[in-house]
Chain A
């Protein structure tokens, strides 16, 4: 890449493209006057006892004054002419012209030969930590003079002060920019996450339960937080020959990991159910699959109730297997409420030798079965206590004889009533056998 802006080739440093990039990086060109740099110029003039001092930045085709002392207000920049600043930045050490009229380096420089009549010039480069010379801190006089090592060292120190100041500003600008970017990104992520979560949740839940002749089914999923996808799940699916499989459960954790685990769990249960008629074997299969996921310290487990049911002329015969999940409820048409608890089932996915319990049940016409996750029973009611099993049993008793959709609607109202007391995701699945028509 070449830089052709009418500046003599001899004034272009070998690293000019990268040097200009560094100049741009500090974003100082054409900024308004600034106390910190003005003080450096004033300090240079006073310490070195000269009438003129400037802080300059060498741009593509111009030398721009960031600060100046002893120069008129109207002088804001000069051309990148040889002899002074444009030459000074070619050197890593301070640059000294004791008499510009006789010095061959300044021949033809307009500051020397023009109205200003500069005779003396001393400069130290402003050098970035990565070695690019942005400009100079320099002093000028209209009469020839000398400058000792100490004077040049002072200029170098002042140039270092300017560099420090530029670094500080860059750091501040970068911080502000990063902060702003990260805030914008966080907002975008947040929105994206909500969309993903909603999509995931839709993907993870069956869009609607199948219509089954002789069996009513309804479900509800309450999402406690749009930020953290919960890990509750349920499903109801045909196994053929008037047989149905259903399950409901809760995987550990929240968020994307839980969502992935939920998905794995659902597909495993459905797949296993199609070729194994024994609910305990289905859970054992899931246990094996989840154990394979438990490779790091964080366990991947779930609690679940998994059932297989057959519709008969007199109702629904079912076998419910449980792995670490709260019991299901049977709501009898006559008003009795029974816990259906496959007692002694382990969490699924924790133990290689896990055992799972099984409990049989029969639903007669008008009876219903309710499966739920512990978001329901562990919701806080007024006063701070947990909703608990007893209250649930009481509520269920009031729903005796109701079809599945009415049971779910009533519980949905109950959940809504918990307000902020409902901290966790909650899944509900109800099955009911329609009352026999006389």
Chain B
């Protein structure tokens, strides 16, 4: 079974950008998320929003990728917000205390509205 992950990057409003993830985020596909985040950061993105509405599956490797990105963005005064978590992912995030690590919003638009403007 080959897991697939699609990432669409919306970079039009730097320093805010949105990554739309769909499919499965696991050990095999997590490097692509790392890469997409690196690319976004290289393009001037400081406040990254990951829209997970269409993400069916997120393994611990996916969580690790988000945590690593969070740390790198924080070091530059940036933020990483997650939006659109499905019920299962929401449960995992609550189960593991990750809701403390990431601001979580119902939608990417909500997350965008909450980005610090300074």
Contact = CB atoms under 8 A, between A and B. Distances in A.
B1 A380 contact: yes
> How big is the B interface, by class?
20 to 34
B32 interface: no
A350 B64 contact: no
A378 B59 CA distance: 9
Nearest to A356: B97
Nearest to B66: A299
A298 B64 contact: yes
Interface in B54-84: 57, 59-61, 63-64, 67-68, 71-72
Contacts of B95: 324, 326, 343
A299 B98 contact: no
Given A228-B27, A378-B59, A424-B27, 13 more contacts: A252-B60, A297-B68, A299-B71, A301-B67, A303-B60, A324-B98, A343-B95, A347-B98, A350-B67, A350-B101, A354-B97, A355-B97, A423-B1
Residues of A in contact with B, size category: 20 to 34
A299 B97 contact: no
Contacts of A354: 97
A421 B97 contact: no
A351 interface: yes
A243 to B, nearest CB: 28
A299 B102 CA distance: 14
B72 A297 contact: yes
Contacts of B51: none
B76 to A, nearest CB: 12
A297 B71 contact: yes
B97 A347 contact: yes
Contacts, number: 58
Interface of A: 228, 250, 252-254, 297-299, 301, 303, 324, 326, 343-347, 350-351, 354-355, 378, 380, 386, 420-421, 423-424
A299 B64 contact: yes
B96 interface: yes
A384 to B, nearest CB: 8
Contacts of B72: 297
Interface in B12-47: 26-27
Interface of B: 1, 3, 26-27, 57, 59-61, 63-64, 67-68, 71-72, 95-98, 100-101
Nearest to A302: B60
A41 B57 CA distance: 67
B1 A420 contact: yes
Contacts of A345: 97
A303 B101 CA distance: 15
A252 B26 contact: no
Contacts of A252: 60-61, 63-64
A380 B60 CA distance: 16
B64 to A, nearest CB: 5
Contacts of B101: 350-351
Nearest to A251: B60
A3 to B, nearest CB: 55
B1 A346 contact: no
B96 A324 contact: yes
Contacts of A420: 1
Contacts of B71: 297, 299
B98 A423 contact: no
